[in-house]
Structure 1
Amino acid sequence: MAKKKDFKVGGPAPKPVIPIFPSNTMLERAAVCTLTIPLPHGVDEKFDWSEYLGRGFDDTVSAFVLVMRAMVVEGRPTPLSLKSIANGAVIYWFRFCAERATSGAAPTLSSINADTIDMFAGWLSTRLKPNGEVWALNTARTVYAKVKTVLVAIAERKLLPRQGLFSKNPFPGATDVNRRRYHILPLSDDERERILRPLAIEVAQVFDGTHPGTPVTQLGLCVFAILLKTGVNPTPFLEIPRDLQKCFMSHPRINMRILITFKRRAGNYTTTPLGPVESRVVSLDVYKLCERVVSLTENAANLAMGSKLEGLLWIYELDGTPRGMTTETLSNVANSFTLRHDLLRDDGTRLKMSSQLFRNTKVNRVWRASKGDLIATARSVSNTPAVAQRYLAVTPSMLDEHRMAGEVLVDTLSDPVRRDNTPHSGCRDAFNGELAPKDGSVCVDFLSCFRCKSQVVLQEDLYKLFSFYWALFSQRSHVGQDNWRKLFGWVTRVIDRDIAPKFDATVVEREKARARTEPHPMWRSPSVLAALRSLQ
């Protein structure tokens, strides 16, 4: 199962915590209000919170900075996670403290308790985006989790109470799929073409050595070309080694390679099959483009010898110093690319390249090409089916591509086909069918039957089939309209469009009406209906 982002200290076996001593004088506090985090791409990130001194909670500022300095020394959390904590969470804690201070209740270390933390959680729930919208509940939860990491580390040093400080779940329902951050819609075919045309030209110029842009621009364009083709996550990809034999495996099929990246959160390697060029991004495959990047970055690689950037592929030279590509530099390259080519989405809004946009597009294109096969889609992007499903933007045209792959047999008397019973119809072989696990266990994925070639529907199944049909409709009020449409809507559509018309209309109407008023015993069972709801 894929892991959620975790900003806790974590890491190997815990070491003794580094003690901290919050400063007492203004001069001492001013000396400890800055933080420097050495990042893996060769740049030090610096933070200065001196503006929050003198407001009544200096010891809190001092404790926060000192404990994060200790985290830098310990190396836990990772530098990038600690940067995210400092840049995207601690600042909100200090703003909360400043607001509390104006009302005469400055959160000093001695006054921080469970009520203070609960008030902070409520305060986060009222934050506004630049466009005036309230933060998503999951955004507030994420910021809270990051601040909690620092507070827990302070409590470990016995500067805060360790018990009863945090509520068990201050943001109930925050991770519900319908409450998560705004889903970036994948590129339509026209939008993808608008990016492909200029990107193909510019990447070809980079390959030929004629591109007029800076080294970081040239590398960024190559990265985006590969992200669009593969859908890989950017951070692991930006950390691949210069020795391409370590990150590209050969494949039994000709003209194919396997890209290997390491994702720290999952703690394992991810493999991405790479076929021949499937689009007009460039006239070269991913491996050849990476080979070209090796030569383009040779000078920067020599400068990086002996540094933390040694051996990395995606590095460049800036003022005689090696620098590593980051998601921030990619964002700047994308902004410039959008302005150069005046890129717009179909609805007239700005079209900016991003790794999430390209990953969404890749997942949805594979989903469409596989005719809605979620398992195949997940495998293509090295995700679990549950994670891959979060990327899918189900459109009416995509739903129409769900088709029944099995057989409808009207003449049941003369057909000698072997058949195993399923909860709604039948299967040629429940142990070794097309989508069966084939490990000796019986297939229990009864929703996938409707896109499995092994499914067999007989006239005698209609009563049970329509009992299942009405059971699905009964779940709309329980799982929500959007979830229902994604999970079950396509199944009812296959029954109405591909199965029912194959039988005598009178028989269909009779069995459909009978199933609605007196459903099959299996599909009137409360436990079975509850199991249906658990599929979301």
Structure 2
Amino acid sequence: MAKKKDFGLGGAVPAPVIPIVQACTPFGGAAEGCRVTISLPHGKDRTVDFNVHLGQGFDDTVSAIAQVLQRMAEEGKPEPHSLSTIVSSGLVSWFQFCVERSALGFPPTLTSIDGATVDAYAGWLATRLKPNGELWSKNTARTVFAKTKTVLSALVERKLVVGTGLFHRNPFPGATAPHNRRNYIRPLSDGERERILRPLAKEVAQVFDGTHPGVLRTRLALCVFAILLKSGVNPTPFLEIPRDLTQCFLDHPRVNRRVLVTFKRRAGAFTTTPLEPSETNVVSLDVFRLCQRAAKMTEELVEEAIGTRVEGRLWLYRHEDGAILSMSVQDLHQVADAFTDRYELRRDDGTRLKMSSQLFRNTKVNRIWRASKGDLLATAKSASNTPGAAEQYLTVTPDMLDEHRLAGEVLVDTLSSLTLRDATPHSGCKDSLNGELAPKNGEPCIDFLSCFRCKSQVILQDDLHKLFSFYWALFEQRGQVGSDNWKKLFGWIVRVIDRDICPKFDPLVVAREKARARAEPHPMWQSASAREALRSVI
């Protein structure tokens, strides 16, 4: 299964005991011990000043956290990006909590931090509000708590805090359930994708021929966005690919194709992404050629990058202070904001449409899923994910709802063509050997869940008892497979029956057969084994 984010120190070897040195001097004086410098992979250092938290009754805690963080930064565990988010998310919340506790007369000093303090912090996180006034999701609170726990655990390992009973096993039960996670970024519809692609293709074409007026960082970011839209790769590993493109682009056995190889630190493994040929003649969709162009645009910075953390990187640019940096996700966010404002991009519902790597990856995975007609294994393979990880990207878009409509025939006359059709577990088929979705290999079609999008399906009034027995059997699976799986696998079938089939028959007949099927299922759906067989599609 997919590997969860780990904000820990890594490894099972206990950390060495670090004695508490003299606390940082409040507001001035010898306060260097309360400043932490984190060297980020893209070449920029981040200095965090904890002096602002001094003088509020918990100086020893501030000093100890600063010293522990500096040791983490020097050892590289956790890795710099994670350590930076620990500071910007976890510790920001922790120190805000400490200030409020101090105001109540309970400053969280090293000697007073115990299980009750940590429980109070978890409860405090559960009441945080977003800038728009909405309550944090339970999963957001859990993530912030996990980042803070990394630092508190380091204090325990170094004997600076008593660890007995400090952490409960799971202060946020159910936080990772889909309904408790952060708002899902809905994939682009075809119209929204076109809305981005047109101006993006125009600007990237200008980058390619050297006429784009933007600074180097903007031009590089536009190229990156075109590649993310095309390939759906994760941004951080891609931004760290080497300048030597032979190390990250492999030849594919098929003509005009390549395989992109990136390294994901969290998984500790290389990921391969097959690259299809350009969908159009627009140069912006050719990933390899765009990387070649990026290498050409940044070649004058290569010598200056020698001996720095970004030596050998592809996506180089010069910062305002003269330093040579490598593109980061934060750079992409800033360029995306400017691009959205420049073209006043809007989603189908009128909300602001901002380019982001997650949006593009969600869109790519869902497009693969639609093209494979719901084949989760094929989708996961194309996205270089496990099936469980790929499933997290899938959603039901308006386009999919339009696609899942009844394609067969509904015949109210119960005698129509009875001798010309084959029986299915819920209705009938014109030709199970050579129908629209039949395998056409001499074997009858057995994919009865796809019947409702097959033109060969035939539904007669006499089929209603069997159809609604199948209908209720689908509902029975909700408690077995989970609501999310049920919506993806069976929800569309129920919708087709209710929306497209029921209105074709007399409402009194529909109500009668529905009730009859609920009380006395058709023999096909009476046995438990037949109903359990529905779960075999998962």
State the TM-score bracket (shorter-chain normalisation): 0.7 to 0.9
Partner amino acid, structure 1, of 2:391: Q
Q: Residue 371 of structure 1 contacts residue 401 of structure 1 at CA under 8 Å; is this kept in 2?
A: no
CA drift at 1:494:
6.6
1:143-184 deviations in Å (ceiling 9; x for gaps): 000000111111011122223211111111111112211112
Equivalent residue number for residue 259 of structure 2: 258
Q: Normalising by structure 2, what TM-score?
A: 0.82
User: 1:226 is paired with a residue of what secondary structure?
Assistant: helix
Query: What are the Cα deviations for residues 58-84 of structure 1, in whole angstroms up to 9, with x where unaligned?
Result: 111111111111111221100110001
Q: Is the 8 Å Cα contact of residues 200 and 280 (structure 1) preserved in structure 2?
A: no
Partner of 1:90: 91
**Residue 2 of structure 1: aligned partner:** 2
Q: Give per-residue Cα distances to partners, 1:472-501, cap 9 Å, x unaligned.
A: 223557888776433421244577899999
In structure 1, what is the equivalent of residue 383 of structure 2? 381
CA distance in 1, matches of 2:15, 2:476: 56
Which residue identity lines up with residue 386 of structure 2 in the other structure?
T
Question: Could you tell which deviates more after superposition, 358-367 or 471-480?
Answer: 471-480
Offset from partner CA, 1:289-337 (integer Å, 9 cap, x none): 1111111111222211122211111111235431010000111111121
2:149 aligned residue: 148
Following superposition, the deviation at residue 121 of structure 1 comes to 0.6
Task: In structure 1, give the amino acid aligned to 2:369.
Answer: W
> Do 2:425 and 2:466's aligned partners in 1 also have CA atoms closer than 8 Å?
no
Q: Closer, same or farther in 2 for the Cα pair 1:315/1:448, shift >3 Å?
A: farther
User: SS of 1:260's equivalent?
Assistant: strand
Q: 2:488 is matched by which residue type in structure 1? A: K
Q: How does 1:210-289 map to 2 (within 5 A)?
A: 210-279=211-280, 282=283, 285-289=286-290
AA of the residue aligned to 2:339: F
Structure 2 counterparts to residues 28-47 of structure 1, below 5 A: 30-47=31-48
Amino acid at match of 2:22: S
Tell me the secondary structure at the aligned position of residue 283 of structure 2: coil
The change in CA–CA distance for 1:496 and 1:5 in structure 2 (over 3 A counts) is same
For the residues of structure 2 that align with 1:66 and 1:374, how far apart are their CA atoms?
Answer: 47
- Alpha-carbon distance in structure 2 between the residues aligned to 1:64 and 1:238: 31
**Between 165-174 and 101-110, the greater mean CA deviation after superposition:** 165-174
CA contact (8 A) 1:194 1:343 kept: yes
Q: What is the letter of the counterpart of residue 471 of structure 2?
A: Y
Q: What fraction of aligned residue pairs are identical, expressed as a percent?
A: 59
Deviations 1:164-220 (A, max 9, x none): 211111111111112211112222223222222221121111111121111111110
Per the alignment, residue 506 of structure 2 pairs with none
Distance 1:525 1:111 in 2: 62
Contact 2:465 2:517 in 1 (8 A): yes
Match of 2:52 in 1: 51
Q: Residue 72 of structure 1: SS of its match in structure 2? A: helix
Aligned counterparts, 1:346-425, within 5 A: 346-402=348-404
d(CA) in 2 for partners of 1:530, 1:152 = 46
SS at match of 1:6: coil
Structure 2, gaps ≥5 residues long: 409-415, 440-445, 504-508
Q: Can you list the C-alpha shifts for 1:232-284, whole angstroms capped at 9, x where unaligned?
A: 11001001111111111111221111111111112222111111112576355
Alpha-carbon distance in 2 for matches of 1:76, 1:423: 58
1:372-403 CA distance string (max 9 Å, x none): 33332222212223322222231354144348
Residue 462 of structure 1 deviates from its aligned partner by 9.5
1:329 aligned partner: 331
* Counterpart contact for 1:467–1:519, Cα < 8 Å: yes
Distance in 1 separating the partners of 2:170 and 2:530: 29
1:196/1:280 contact within 8 Å kept: no
CA contact (8 A) 1:447 1:491 kept: no
Say what the alpha-carbon RMSD is for the aligned residues. 4.2
Q: Distance in 1 between the 2:204 and 2:246 partners?
A: 23
Change (3 A) 1:168 1:395: same
AA in 2 matched with 1:26? T
The residue aligned with 2:133 is 132
Shift of 1:352: 1.5
Distance in 2 (CA, whole Å) between partners of 1:457 and 1:115 is 65
Equivalent AA in structure 1 for residue 104 of structure 2: S
